[in-house]
Structure 1
Amino acid sequence: MLDNGKVNDTQVIPPDWIADTIQANDDVIAAYEKSAYAEVFEGFHYRNQVWVKDREKGAFYGIGVYGQLLYVNQKANVVMVKLSSQPDVQNTPMYLDSMVAMKGIAETLSK
């Protein structure tokens, strides 16, 4: 996901699929904005099981259960994984705090 589907010289995921996921289209974005998730994950869109925060930077999240989180920021060339064993299947405030921290780390590293 970091390198648009490429590992070394091998294309393992079609780059068009990744571009579609990150950029989405007006219909996808409009549907997301009408969903209950838009109030919680403001400024995101959801496509292909990926929560996209910043289309320009290629910054997106994969959200798992019990606190697990994946963050990719293509522009900053950063991937972060948070492995967890939280007591609750879903803890939205914890996810949001982790997202802010991951974004901040990526921005600091890319300076």
Structure 2
Amino acid sequence: MVNNHSTQLDAVFHALADPTRRAIIARLALTPCGISELAAPFDMTLAAISKHIKVLEGAGLLVRSIEGRNHTCQLNTAPMHGGMEWLRHYEKFWNQRLDALVTALNTEDTTA
């Protein structure tokens, strides 16, 4: 069963899967920017950048404010917290598994 939290998590991971979108997020982590500023480092059209921005907006990672013809984008890190929690769960899982492996190897060394 897919719930709203899972759908949000899927959208965040999908948005972060693309290197262009990660670069946009890195830029926005420094300061809010206009669309043209965000597009400047990339060899793509404003329409292509706009599609990336819409994906980030859909995932809730970006908030856009519009004043006349100026669109300013700002990073919203709140949706990343769900992803971090999901990763932490598996970090604990793997740390426990690796600790058990180390213990088993140490036990084997002392009994050999």
Name the TM tier (shorter chain). under 0.3
Greater share of helix: 2
Q: Of Structure 1 and Structure 2, which has the larger fraction of its residues in strand?
A: 1
Higher relative contact order (CA 8 A, sep 6+): 2
Give the TM-score of the pair, scaled to structure 1. Answer: 0.26
TM-score between both structures, scaled by the size of structure 2: 0.26
